[in-house]
Structure 1
Amino acid sequence: MRTVDIIHKKRDGGELTKEELDFLIEGYTRGDIPDYQLSAWAMAVFFNGMTARETAELTMAMVRSGEQVDLSSIPGVKVDKHSTGGVGDTTTLILAPLVAAAGIPVAKMSGRGLGHTGGTIDKLEAIPGFEVERTKEQFLNQVKEIGLAVVGQSGNLTPADKKLYALRDVTATVESIPLIASSIMSKKIASGADAIVLDVKTGRGAFMKSLEDSVRLAKAMVEIGTEIGRETVAVITNMDEPLGPSIGNALEVREAIETLKGQGPAELTELCRELAKHMVLLGGKAQDETEAKQLVAQLLKSGEALEKLKQLIKAQGGDARVADEPDRLPEAAYRVPVPSPADGCIAAIDAEALGVTAMLLGAGRATKEDPIDLAVGIKLFKRVGDAVKAGEPLAELYMNRNEPADTARMCERTAAAFTITEAPAPRSKLIYAVVTRNGVRYL
């Protein structure tokens, strides 16, 4: 078998076999196939696409390139959740304990933030003492004992994906739907889950800017899950504006705690209930959507979900008192209000711009090596559709530096992310569609 023949076949719109995809991924991971040949193949995929079977075979080839987590020793249906990335997205911190409280094992590996999107692992490290690194044995034993663990991703998972993604990043092939879908799903499958719920973001602050592309990506990932026998559901959600009003690590942990107490922001609470409903259904703890919704509501109201968060924090060395005393979280030295420049109505909020501003404040990293400040960030006071008066705070910056020129620049950037019009603006739709193996259901 020759690499050039596989490139030629895909260039001409052919469908690659399992053996051809295995040969390609194994050879590239070992270093036998050079970057220039994989670049040619990736560009051929970019233009010609892949069938559902091809994409599933590619995904599994990448899964087999590295370590796979075996969760079979943990009783029950293991359900994982993945978000395609956003701003003010605190869902994992809420969903993991909420779903575990329903009796569904959650063995989750999460990543760090990069660019304008936040990372679950960074947020958890805002909890004093919380340890995100665990051995495989500790990870499995913790899930068996309390039904929940959230740890950093293993460096040995899907090395082919890491290598291929770096190549795509410099060859203008990142936006290929089959390559995005296989990249995401390979990590989820290698992590060992029996079923997967995907939160596919769409809009200005998301990787996928249009609803049409988001639906295509969601369908591709659900098809991969279906092909390999992993029940998969995708929920397509709005990321034109930040999901929650808090952007920044400690701020988002505080917001997650408030939500688990039933006092969280409406949109974040609504989305968490929706995603938890699907996880409960896939985990076999409810017969239908009505029963799943009732169970989720009960777990939030009773305090069982919050109690599960405390168990998680304690099990991973953290100070569980933060669940009752969130002031124990890191706090910024300065709070700077950002006034509205005019009267009117909030017509749009640029989630990506605010995510970048939070990164510049120190809440995120431009490169993987950058340090982050766990205390800083942005707290929003307005959402799309809200009325505002000139001089009224749109947001508040949480900062640990006090340089007038820098502060003025950050305030200016934050205010510029808000579009204010004289005419009233409608509220943004939060959930657009649900994608299952049976098709797309628009809401």
Structure 2
Amino acid sequence: MDRTGLGSGNSFPALIRKKRDGEKLRDEEIRHFVRAVTRGGLQEGQMGAMLMAIRLRGMDPDEMLTLTQEMAVSGRVLEWPDSWQRLLVDKHSTGGVGDKVPMISGRGLGHTGGTLDKLESVPGFNVSQSPEQMRCILEQVGCCIVGQSEELVPADKVLYALRDVTATVDSLPLITASILSKKAAEKVSALVLDVKFGSAALYTSLDSARTLAQSLVSVGSRLGICTVAMLSRMDGPLGQRVGHSLEVLEALQCLEGQGPADLHHLVTTLGGSLLWQCGKAGSVGQGAARIAASLADGSALGKFQAMLQAQGVEAGVAQALCTGTEEQRYQVLGRARGQEELPAAQDGTVQRVEALPIAQVLHELGAGRTQKGQPINHHVGAELLVTVGQRVAKGSPWIRIHYDTPELSNDQRRTLQGALVLAGSEPFAPSCKVAEIILPQGSRSLEEVTGEQGLGSSQALLCSV
């Protein structure tokens, strides 16, 4: 008797064997698999075997599209007013160190920080909102930052947990389906993807990140979502602060039109792309200029304050956080018990600051988790006191660590000192964070898309196939 629910002659072991041998799965076979995953009709070992077969043999574009579609409809699909068409937009990041640009978000695991964890350092902020509450917040404020609803894409929850324990996290078809199934279930009209590459990213090379970006743009476009991907560097931290409450402070600086130049550039570029994608700007460059203006004139910060209140933060707390001094903001968010600055070991120009060693030390100090549900310390973090391209003198402080218990050990100090890479060259301007833009096939030229301002001389345009 076939207990998989896939029908006689089409048993689940036969499907595993088919994909294991490199054959293409038909739409109805993928549909049966996803439905069995959602309804609990499969053994965990069978699901793991199928994930490994997909990891080793891959999927063609049609298979990836069907897998994404079936995962999207495995749970609730959100419905929005007709008047919101072309105005529902979202952003996704593949994760990094100091990545404080938000989206419909997740929690941190390993060395990467989660947007939800960062925002929960704000007293009262509630990331758990039902689809009905999301609609109310969107009508009232125009934006929200929430966690994934339990009703959305239940198949992804099952498969994501298994991917972590079956060493299939890096499977391109599974990453593509996991990311885009949630966006399809949200029924967004435009999506911008921040695909990181570098030593502190999931994909360390530009080529591998580009392959993922092309897959996401291609499948997203076939789902009817206007999808663009930005390839951004993640060797060093984004911005100057790493750690949950410290990143909130830096995000507030950016919302005031200040803060680190690399963060400001990434925010305006991603936001500018979304404005272009939904027809609110003639080019990404024009959209980026509009985003920069909203940061400079305080309107973006005002929206953030309204969103905080709509998601549970008391009015007085939201006001102190958004309009107060940095000391008043620290009073709201709290501060770590101690701080320690480390000196540069020699004279030189900062060639780079390695993000991964910093993130690993902060993780050991309590800023990260090694398993789901583990508590974290929102106050642990680091401030970079130097920037890439800057000339520094021996003995001058280059990083400030915020810690509670434990304090820094000598081994951790040595690890951190290895993150600062100096050379004897003259000061220089650092590279632009955004390296390339991936557009859907058939898009206009790079000059037309980016606009007269452009987005940096290092960028190139690649169309997905």
TM over 0.5: yes
* 1:90 corresponds to which of 100, 110, 115: 100
Within 5 Å, which residues of 2 pair with 1:168-187?
168-187=163-182
Shift in Å, 1:417 = 1.7
Q: 1:422 aligns with which of 414, 421, 424?
A: 424
Task: Say if 2:84 is the partner of 1:75.
Answer: yes
Mapped pair 1:188 → 2:187: no
Tell me: CA distance 1:388–1:139, structure 2 relative to 1, closer, same or farther (3 Å). Answer: same
The residue number in structure 1 matching 2:378 is 374
Once residues 112 and 74 of structure 1 are traced to their aligned partners in structure 2, the CA distance between those partners, rounded to angstroms, is 32
Distance 2:96 2:24 in 1: 34
1:409 CA drift (Å)? 4.0
Q: Distance in 1 between matches of 2:29 and 2:205?
A: 33
Q: Residue in 2 aligned with 1:383? A: 387
Residue 385 of structure 1 deviates from its aligned partner by: 2.6
SS of 1:56's equivalent in the other structure is helix
Shift of 1:425: 8.2
The aligned counterpart of 1:345 is 349
List aligned pairs for 1:2-151, cutoff 5 A.
Answer: 2-72=11-81, 75-76=84-85, 77-92=87-102, 109-151=104-146
TM-superposed CA distance for 1:306, in Å, is 1.0
- Please tell me the residue identity of whatever aligns with 2:352: A
Structure 2 letter corresponding to 1:7: I
Distance 1:418 1:359 in 2: 18
Amino acid at match of 1:246: R
The Cα offsets for residues 318-345 of structure 1, whole Å up to 9 and x where unpaired, read as: 2212011223322122111011122223
Deviates more, 1:67-76 or 1:387-396: 67-76
After TM superposition, give the deviation of residue 232 of structure 1 in Å: 0.7
* 1:398 paired residue number: 402
Cα shift at 1:236? 0.5
Residue type of the alignment partner of 1:79: V
1:362 aligns with 2:361: no
Q: CA deviation digits over 1:263-303, x for unaligned, max 9?
A: 11000000111101111112221122343233222212211
Q: Tell me, yes or no, if the aligned pair for 1:90 and 1:253 is still in contact at 8 Å.
A: yes
Task: List per-residue Cα deviations over 1:62-96 (Å, max 9, x = no partner).
Answer: 1122233323467242000011001111112xxxx
Structure 2: runs of 5+ lacking an equivalent: 1-9, 447-458, 461-465
Deviates most, 21-30 or 227-236: 21-30
In the other structure, the counterpart of 2:206 is 211
Pick which of 338-347 and 197-206 moved more: 338-347
Alignment match, 1:323: 322
The answer to whether the 8 A contact 1:78-1:194 is kept is: yes
1:247 touches 1:379 (CA, 8 Å); kept in 2?
yes
Alignment match, 2:6: none
Deviation at 1:58, TM superposition (A): 0.5
1:342 maps to a residue whose letter is Q
The 3 A distance-change label for structure 1 pair 155 and 222 is same
Superposition pairs of residues 217-296 of structure 1, within 5 angstroms: 217-296=212-291
Distance in 1 (CA, whole Å) between partners of 2:366 and 2:166 is 30
Paired position in structure 2 for 1:432: 435
> 2: distance between equivalents of 1:53 and 1:22?
13
Whole-Å Cα distance in 1 between the matches of residues 442 and 15 of structure 2? 32
Gaps of 5+ in 1: 93-107
State whether residues 74 and 140 of structure 1, in contact with CA within 8 Å, keep that contact through their aligned partners in structure 2: no
User: Structure 2 vs 1, CA of residues 62 and 313 (structure 1 numbering), >3 Å: closer, same or farther?
Assistant: same
How many Å separate the matches in 1 of 2:57 and 2:440? 23
Aligned partners of 1:120 and 1:167: how far apart in 2?
A: 23
Question: Residue 424 of structure 1: CA displacement?
Answer: 5.3
Aligned residue for 2:295, secondary structure, equals helix
Identity between Structure 1 and Structure 2 (%) = 38
SS in 2 for 1:236: strand
Dislocated runs of 4+, deviation >6 Å:
none
Q: Does the 8 Å contact 2:198/2:204 carry over to 1?
A: yes
Task: Give the match's secondary structure for 2:104.
Answer: strand
In the TM superposition, residue 152 of structure 1 has moved relative to its aligned partner by: 2.0
Q: Letter of the 2:318 partner, please give it.
A: A
Residues in 1 aligned to 2:182 and 2:109: alpha-carbon distance in whole angstroms:
17
User: What one-letter code is carried by the residue in structure 2 that aligns with 1:294?
Assistant: A
Q: Which structure's relative contact order is higher, taking Cα pairs within 8 Å and 6+ residues apart?
A: 1
- Cα distance between partner residues in 2 of 1:346 and 1:167: 41
Quick one: which amino acid aligns to residue 57 of structure 2?
A: N
Task: Calculate the TM-score normalised by the size of structure 1.
Answer: 0.90
Distance in 2 between residues matched to 1:123 and 1:165, nearest whole Å: 22
**Partner amino acid, structure 1, of 2:433:** L
Counterpart amino acid of residue 391 in structure 2: A
Shifted more, 248-257 versus 37-46: the winner is 37-46
Report the Cα distance in structure 1 between the residues aligned to 2:268 and 2:391, rounded to whole angstroms. 27
Query: How far apart are the structure 1 equivalents of 2:55 and 2:153?
Result: 21
